[in-house]
């Protein structure tokens, strides 16, 4: 059964869908979403999330409803953090998943884990300073322990971004090929809840608002 969600209804329109530059296809995305729970017991945020917990925190089919998966993956964080050595990157993960509506609107979720909250805080401050010059956006709501939203154009495509830090995780949500006013705060709020659930040692089950 396919659920209808508020964000899907608001985003409906005459946008033209565009083909994904897929790293992995929908089947791999579904496989990641269906992975078993990492087990009972509280997580230790200071130790960072495991790769399995990252896969579970990324929004799955149940969380996204009418959206269709495009790409997904969880890899070591080395190439994404610019770590100077393999040892300093050990245990850090970069996870991402991209979803698309049938009108072409896309939303991408990205998260980078750290071994300690202080490291995540520092990386978040670096990110905020890096993108301070871009067009600021107003996103209704409170996201994580601090967030900044902005618009930027890359490769001729304008995207709407919200970056936040949640415990020992820095996360970003990107909306492209459509309006962000409803989609960005709804998807970011849901993502923050899923990350918090993973950091508390629970299997994430937060979803987009249902009609």
Q: pLDDT at residue 106 above 50?
A: yes
Say what percent of the chain tops pLDDT 90.
58
What local confidence, expressed as pLDDT, does residue 103 receive?
95
Q: pLDDT at residue 6 above 70?
A: no
Q: 24-40, pLDDT tens digit by residue?
A: 443 343 333 333 333 33
HSE, side-chain direction, 13 A CA sphere, residue 74: 21
Mean of pLDDT values over 113-133: 90
Q: 43-62, pLDDT tens digit by residue?
A: 444 458 999 999 999 999 99
Identify which has the larger pLDDT, 84 or 17.
84
What local confidence, expressed as pLDDT, does residue 24 receive?
43
Mean of pLDDT values over 153-173: 94
This prediction has a pTM of 0.78
What local confidence, expressed as pLDDT, does residue 160 receive?
97
Q: 171-202, pLDDT tens digit by residue?
A: 999 999 999 999 999 999 999 999 999 999 99
What local confidence, expressed as pLDDT, does residue 84 receive?
61
What local confidence, expressed as pLDDT, does residue 85 receive?
65
Q: pLDDT at residue 121 above 90?
A: yes
Which CATH topology does 6-11+43-199 take? Protein Transport Mog1p; Chain A (3.40.1000)
Domain definitions of the chain by residue range: 6-11+43-199
- Sheet harboring 106-113: ordered strands across? 68-76, 93-100, 106-113, 169-176, 157-166, 147-154, 135-136
């Amino acid at each position: 059964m396919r659920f209808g969600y508020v964000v899907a209804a608001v985003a409906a329109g005459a946008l033209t869908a565009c083909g994904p530059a897929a790293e992995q296809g929908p089947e791999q995305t579904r496989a990641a979403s269906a992975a078993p729970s990492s087990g009972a017991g509280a997580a230790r945020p200071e130790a960072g999330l495991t790769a399995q917990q990252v896969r579970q925190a990324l929004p799955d089919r149940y969380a996204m409803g009418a959206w269709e998966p495009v790409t997904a993956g969880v890899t070591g964080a080395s190439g994404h953090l610019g770590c100077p050595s393999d040892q300093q990157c050990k245990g850090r993960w970069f996870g991402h998943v991209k979803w698309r509506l049938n009108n072409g609107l896309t939303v991408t979720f990205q998260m980078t884990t750290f071994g300690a909250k202080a490291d995540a805080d520092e990386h978040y401050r670096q990110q905020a300073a890096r993108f301070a010059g871009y067009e600021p956006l107003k996103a209704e709501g409170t996201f994580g322990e601090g967030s900044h939203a902005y618009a930027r154009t890359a490769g001729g495509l304008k995207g709407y971004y919200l970056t936040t830090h949640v415990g020992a995780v820095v996360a970003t949500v990107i909306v492209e090929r459509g309006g962000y006013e409803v989609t960005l705060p709804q998807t970011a709020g849901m993502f923050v809840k899923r990350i918090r659930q993973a950091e508390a040692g629970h299997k994430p089950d937060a979803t987009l608002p249902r009609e």
